[in-house]
Homo-oligomer: A and B are copies of this chain.
């Protein structure tokens, strides 16, 4: 009755997500479920040297500095980026491990939905 796909380890398909896992993953997803934060993450990750100064980030948006700071804090709290002050400026970089968690949620699911 229950046919199983050969492909390995689909997180969402393998079995119903536990309530706790769902809460954890949803919190992580919520951190990136915003256009500004997505672009911030993208700008930091794609910046040369793997890090970007807050001053560069702020200039790229039609938003005030406190708003950008708020979004950076959300990303930081979620463990997606880490910031460090060096002299006058604060530099942020992506934490790949956390992005990997995001990446792992859906990746195997796309083409391995169970068949009857």
Contact = CB atoms under 8 A, between A and B. Distances in A.
Number of copies: 2
B109 A13 contact: no
B29 A17 contact: no
Given A39-B16, A45-B13, A99-B106, A26 B22 contact: no
A1 interface: yes
Contacts of A109: 45, 94, 96, 99, 103
Interface of A: 1-3, 12-17, 19, 22-23, 25-26, 29-30, 32-39, 41-43, 45-50, 60, 93-94, 96-97, 99-100, 102-103, 105-107, 109-111, 113-116
Contacts of A14: 46
